[in-house]
């Protein structure tokens, strides 16, 4: 009987599909330090971002036939090594793209209308402070007609472009692996196609009103002070990709010196304990790594994981 350890959780629909296929599904969380011994009992492991599946763990578990990652990035898995050992490595790149893209726009909309800070200030101001805050936050801006720069034209980047086009934004994109791509936007019945070409990194930084990052983890930050100095001083940057892609010290300095207008962060270099300066900064909108955390995305992830595991383990 095939046994699967779901160590970071799965939606009920996914568990039900796996059990209906005849697999034993264990959703008990096993601490990372105990996996070297206990994972030997299982044929497959299903993780999110919390559990690490590195070379040492793979070597210690000769029965392992599949590693499944609920989500897009697989930075926590030694993918090439696992595949070299004949282990199937799967993820769910399409399941949460819309949810992540919509959260990026939530940050953009919140920052342009000061929702992140007015939500903190209004409860303590009372009746007398209402008019003062109304005046203080009366200089919001629209997204319509602005330029959205997208770094990385994978599934999430394309979804972001689709939403941006639907909101009347201009799109700039940078992806060294993509020369040009088709973006469809609008309801299926009225869908419109637009060709988006990849520009240079510098051109995107200089000309974008909003910049959103959608690339895998890198060895060093992609956005540093040099990049901030190229941006418009009213630009807003969004990172719902990977912590560490933005140099957080440089970000705070750029905001404090009015090099850019604001930042929306769903990921942090110090997760799960982000730098408090980021959490408390009035020009930063923060969420606790919830880009893919919608009911729709989680159900899609559960279904897609189950389908792929059934396919490779049957």
Supply the residues annotated as catalytic.
242, 271, 289
Written in H, E and C, the secondary structure of 43-109 is CEEEECCCCCECHHHHHHCCCCCEEEECCCCCCCECHHHHHHCCCEEEECCCCCHHHHHHHHHHHHH
Q: Do 52 and 76 meet the contact criterion of CB atoms below 8 Å apart?
A: yes
Q: Which of 46, 57, 107, 51 is nearest to 82 (CA)?
A: 57
Start-to-end Cα distance in the chain: 11
* Residue 300 burial by Cβ neighbours in a 10 Å radius (0-12, 13-18, 19+): buried
Neighbours of 168 (CB within 10 A): 11
Query: How far is Cα 3 from Cα 16, in angstroms, rounded to an integer?
Result: 14
Integer angstrom CA distances of residue 214 from 29, 89, 97, 150: 30, 22, 11, 7
Sequence-distant (6+) residues with CB within 8 A of 295 are none
**Helix, coil or strand: residue 303:** helix
Angle at 56 between CA 273 and CA 246, to 5 degrees: 35
Query: What tokens does 57 get?
Result: 């763990």
* Residue 162 near residue 193 (C-beta atoms within 8 A): no
């Amino acid at each position: 009987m095939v046994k699967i350890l779901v160590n970071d959780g799965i939606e009920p629909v996914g568990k039900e599909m796996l059990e209906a296929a005849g697999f034993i599904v264990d959703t008990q969380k096993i601490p990372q330090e105990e996996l070297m011994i206990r994972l030997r009992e299982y044929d497959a492991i299903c993780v999110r971002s919390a559990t690490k599946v590195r070379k040492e763990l793979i070597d210690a578990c000769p029965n392992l036939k599949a590693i499944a990652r609920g989500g897009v990035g697989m930075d926590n898995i030694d993918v090439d090594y696992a595949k070299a050992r004949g282990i199937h490595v799967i993820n769910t790149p399409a399941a949460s793209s819309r949810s992540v893209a919509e959260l990026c726009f939530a940050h953009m909309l919140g920052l342009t209308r000061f929702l992140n800070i007015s939500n903190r200030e209004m409860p303590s101001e009372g009746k007398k402070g209402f008019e003062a805050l109304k005046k203080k936050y009366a200089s919001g801006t629209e997204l319509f007609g602005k330029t959205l720069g997208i770094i990385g034209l994978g599934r999430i980047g394309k979804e972001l472009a689709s939403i941006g086009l639907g909101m009347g934004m201009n799109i700039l994109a940078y992806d060294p692996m993509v020369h040009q791509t088709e973006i469809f936007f609008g309801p299926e019945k009225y869908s419109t196609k637009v060709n988006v070409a990849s520009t240079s990194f510098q051109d995107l930084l200089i000309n974008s009103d909003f910049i959103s990052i959608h690339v895998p983890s890198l060895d060093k930050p992609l956005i540093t002070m040099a990049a901030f100095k190229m941006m418009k001083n009213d630009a807003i940057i969004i990172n719902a990709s990977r912590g560490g892609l933005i140099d957080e010290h440089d970000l705070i300095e750029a905001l404090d010196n009015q090099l850019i207008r604001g930042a929306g962060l769903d990921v942090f270099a110090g997760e799960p304990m982000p730098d408090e300066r980021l959490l408390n900064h009035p020009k930063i909108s923060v969420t606790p790594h919830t880009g893919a955390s919608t009911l729709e995305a989680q159900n899609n992830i559960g279904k897609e994981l189950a389908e792929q595991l059934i396919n490779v383990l049957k």
